[in-house]
Structure 1
Amino acid sequence: MSIFEGNDGKGVSSTESLSNDVRYDNMEKVDQDVLRHNFNFDKEFEELEIEAAQVNDKPSFVDRILSLEYKLHFENKNHMVWLLGAFAAAAGLLSGLDQSIISGASIGMNKALNLTEREASLVSSLMPLGAMAGSMIMTPLNEWFGRKSSLIISCIWYTIGSALCAGARDHHMMYAGRFILGVGVGIEGGCVGIYISESVPANVRGSIVSMYQFNIALGEVLGYAVAAIFYTVHGGWRFMVGSSLVFSTILFVGLFFLPESPRWLVHKGRNGMAYDVWKRLRDINDESAKLEFLEMRQAAYQERERRSQESLFSSWGELFTIARNRRALTYSVIMITLGQLTGVNAVMYYMSTLMGAIGFNEKDSVFMSLVGGGSLLIGTIPAILWMDRFGRRVWGYNLVGFFVGLVLVGVGYRFNPVTQKAASEGVYLTGLIVYFLFFGSYSTLTWVIPSESFDLRTRSLGMTICSTFLYLWSFTVTYNFTKMSAAFTYTGLTLGFYGGIAFLGLIYQVCFMPETKDKTLEEIDDIFNRSAFSIARENISNLKKGIW
């Protein structure tokens, strides 16, 4: 069956259909009379209706597996769109919760399991190591099982990991639980954005995807709050590390009320199922929605044709051998590295310990950790609201705030926590708030920059590599925190090492960070086709103009 058929019954070639009359990226401007002359929409969609009905009436075994869903129908299609987007983005709560909960749990856990300093470091750092492994298997899971199904798989990893942590009898069991939790984090991190982007309309895509980062920060606040609630409970640390069970169960059940990505279904040739999902997410009486579906199907067909003629590793080769892709990968990885090497995850995982070092008792340390988590949450809001208004580079300049905050944190440790307790706590908390406020906005770049810097052909692979580096640096910084703090002292580590990285990072961002605001994908290609030094010269020239 051809994708487009003329009124005379003769097929219209896909090349002609996409290059002549129909420009789907500008659908609202298409002359509907011309469309009606070239394409028999009624016949095309009658066949799709029949195919969708056959899937529902006589589903194959694979169809039954893919359609494990309690179907919800809304008269207003936007309600289904926002339900899908909001619930999928809520997966960020799990990621954030598991990153911060260990801070409060470590106080009771270290005593109960008699953990050495090295063992305690491994417990904290094995989650990002597991996330690195999860990010590596995310791409094949997305390809083989689908977007929603991969999220369900991540929930299973979360549930197993949480159960092991809550019931841990020794450090080996805790190691396994934290690593398995991390695998869930890594799978989820790459799936959510793809699932949302492939399912929701373009006019709300950016807002809904941005909700994921907000939910990560919200999950981190919830982690500190859960720690504060269970701190006084006997064996409360088990409730803390096991709290993910509640959220993973809710997400697991909720995903069965959501459809699979229609684009993935089309990619797998299951057009009937895809159209059935599409009707629930779009107003199918709107001709632009029909055009979008046909374009989606055509793109999937062309992608299958292209892949059938190429080797499995050709995309990997293009990522490194083509200068444009190599520059995008280099910049994205360095941008992520700069953020992680300022110590954000180490500060987050050891928040309660760091609070104790400036004079707070154990109970107050757990409660005061909410200050850092709350600051991070608030810091994400400006970037989510105004990323497209002010551009990308302005948020890269937040490294100035990193440096100022880390200097204050380091100075706070120079005061005597006994005789100068008020000064120590005041300076430290001020620095912590400044640091997390600025990091909250910077952290949104972690998801925005890689998603728009790579071309369509290498985007998934580029995101996989960026996610792997994100979790690799998180593991490295967290695992080595206790050793480095002993060697540097808290002041030397925060002010000297982390602050030094922030200062060097600021110079790098000022010089080499490209501005991709309001740029089309083709224009972004043009940016990365230029040398890094050409971009730097333009950035410095624009900065001089802005100052003078």
Structure 2
Amino acid sequence: SIETDFIEIEQLAQQASRKRTFWQKLLDCEFELEFKDKKHMVWLLGAFASAAGILSGVDQSIISGASIGMNTALKLTDHQSSLVSSLMPLGAMAGSMMMTPLSEYFGRKKAIVISCLWYSLGAGLCAGANSHEMMFAGRFILGIGVGIEGGSVGIYIAESVPAHVRGNLVSMYQFNIALGEVFGFAIAAIFYDIHGGWRYMVGSSLVFSTILFIGLLFLPESPRYLMYKGKVGESYNVWKRLRNADDESSKVEFLEMRHNAIIDEDRRAHESKFQVWMDLFTIPRNRRALFYAVLMVSFGQLTGINAVMYYLSTLMHKIGFNIRASVFMSLVGGGSLLIGTIPAILWMDRFGRRVWGMNIIGFFIGLVLVGVGYRFNSVTQKEAALGVYLTGLILYMSFFGAYACLTWVLPAESFSLSTRSVGMTICSTFLYLWSFTVTYNFTKMQNAFTYTGLTLGFYGGIAFIGFIYQILFMPETKDKTLEEIDDIFSKSSFQVARENISNVKRFWGFS
């Protein structure tokens, strides 16, 4: 019975508590913080873990303003300047590949702690750079921190919080990325007129990484990770800090989690260490989740968001703003992205994943308008050019803010427990691969397409293709436990498409 099972679990939990000395807590990077109302601990975990996104956002946007002074100080060529922008997503690819072994061996939370150390090292190198080689190294190392963090945060939150708030809390990571991007543009504006201000800009990550590192010391490890490692007592101690232990549904969920962990442990005992990679591609349920998650991430990146963010000051200058105004006007793009994430955070779990996925059609409209803005003469038709351009930019960034939340929510909840780290690694790798590809080739594409507007229109075309895919093949995972999501991906893609078409017809009154 449930009560009998929990008598044994309580005994294991008490034994685990007695073993935790001060030095063990220090080694685990954890000093226990507990609230009477469990909701407070859940929201604190989600809010502080997702705050790692601020670091990622700052490092993505700060280069837009810093590049103006940095290019002159370090005498960078156009090619070297492109590398400074694109080496961070390249480093993030390396970091995302490191994420699986780190999160599997050290734990979900400790992987985020390790990313803080990479951030601090990279920011220090960038701030003190006296050559392009040193700046390259700093940006690449920053990218490693971004890659480790990017995959770890979503898993950590998804494995720790209740299903009914999982989407909201994982979405907060994207909100904090957007907030970090606004901070980055604001920091650039603050230090723009200061001699050598670009060094303060690129070194600002040190402040954020230190704050995050300290905050993480008071958060627990993922209870599902602890269960996965056979630490039932420790897992239950964390569970009681995040759930009402007397609630019947909470007990059932914990027992389901334990049951699945036992099955995974039994399977791992008879498999090689590389079997999890085989399972990801050979088991239909896992393969569908991987294909779906990778496509969702790819559609977001291939619409050119990071190229637009990295070159936003340059794009503002091309449309008609002077250099100084371009730095300040970049806040319009960053602010729109931030505002766009707010509805998704508040109502991700109310309206479901598909509603927010449809926001990709807004990319198409916004990018078309941005492209049209570049067709106006920036001298004789300046007001029209700026009006159409800014309208398109605000639409594009606002809709992307909501959609981008999904690129962290969906991969974090789609994979089975045994393949979650590996699946997130692959998704993160594709995310940063496309980010590097789009960013590095943005200038080349502008030259090949002869004008900037056509390049952005090309990205709009990709957004329209993504919209069609999501109407047909995007499943709904709202309010499902991670264990229940297994059943969703057990359906074939064509079965999901038939259900989606039927639901669309019913919505419009055709059936």
Q: Assess same fold via TM > 0.5.
A: yes
Render the CA deviation track for 1:133-153: whole Å, top value 9, x for unaligned: 111111110111112221111
CA distance in 2, matches of 1:144, 1:524: 25
The alignment status of 1:494 with 2:456, answered yes or no, reads yes
CA distance in 2, matches of 1:98, 1:454: 29
Deviation for aligned residue 1:262: 3.8
Give 2:143's aligned residue: 182
CA distance in 2, matches of 1:82, 1:145: 24
Deviation for aligned residue 1:258: 2.6
CA distance in 1, matches of 2:249, 2:469: 43
RMSD: 2.7
Question: Number of residue pairs matched?
Answer: 508
Give 1:303's aligned residue: 264
Distance 1:505 1:419, change over 3 A: same
Deviation for aligned residue 1:299: 4.8
Render the CA deviation track for 1:528-547: whole Å, top value 9, x for unaligned: 44544444444345434444
How much identity, in percent, do the aligned residues show? 69
The alignment status of 1:368 with 2:329, answered yes or no, reads yes
The alignment status of 1:52 with 2:17, answered yes or no, reads yes
Contact 1:356 / 1:362 at 8 angstroms: preserved in 2?
Answer: yes
CA distance in 2, matches of 1:473, 1:413: 25
- Which protein, 1 or 2, shows the higher relative CO under an 8 Å CA cutoff with sep ≥ 6? 2
Give 1:131's aligned residue: 92
Distance 1:542 1:209, change over 3 A: closer
Deviation for aligned residue 1:285: 6.5
Distance 1:342 1:144, change over 3 A: same
The alignment status of 1:152 with 2:117, answered yes or no, reads no
The alignment status of 1:415 with 2:380, answered yes or no, reads no
Distance 1:532 1:278, change over 3 A: closer
Deviation for aligned residue 1:414: 1.4
Give 1:25's aligned residue: none
The alignment status of 1:352 with 2:306, answered yes or no, reads no
Distance 1:309 1:172, change over 3 A: same
Distance 1:526 1:194, change over 3 A: closer
Give 1:170's aligned residue: 131
Match of 1:321 among 282, 294, 313: 282
Give the TM-score normalised by structure 2.
0.91
Distance 1:292 1:65, change over 3 A: farther
CA distance in 1, matches of 2:316, 2:454: 17
Deviation for aligned residue 1:122: 0.8
Contact 1:92 / 1:215 at 8 angstroms: preserved in 2?
Answer: yes
CA distance in 1, matches of 2:204, 2:388: 33
CA distance in 2, matches of 1:484, 1:162: 30
Give 1:342's aligned residue: 303
Q: How does 1:88-487 map to 2 (within 5 A)?
A: 88-270=49-231, 273-274=234-235, 277-278=238-239, 280-282=241-243, 299-487=260-448
Deviation for aligned residue 1:457: 3.5
Distance 1:359 1:340, change over 3 A: same
What is the one-letter code of the residue matched to 1:106? Answer: S
CA distance in 2, matches of 1:260, 1:546: 42
Render the CA deviation track for 1:371-405: whole Å, top value 9, x for unaligned: 01111111112222223333333323222211111
Give the TM-score normalised by structure 1.
0.85
Deviation for aligned residue 1:435: 0.6
Render the CA deviation track for 1:300-329: whole Å, top value 9, x for unaligned: 444333311111122211222233332332
What is the one-letter code of the residue matched to 1:145? Answer: F
Which has the larger Rg?
1
What is the one-letter code of the residue matched to 1:417? Answer: S
Deviation for aligned residue 1:427: 1.1
Deviation for aligned residue 1:66: 3.3
Contact 1:127 / 1:181 at 8 angstroms: preserved in 2?
Answer: yes
CA distance in 1, matches of 2:471, 2:247: 45
CA distance in 1, matches of 2:341, 2:370: 21
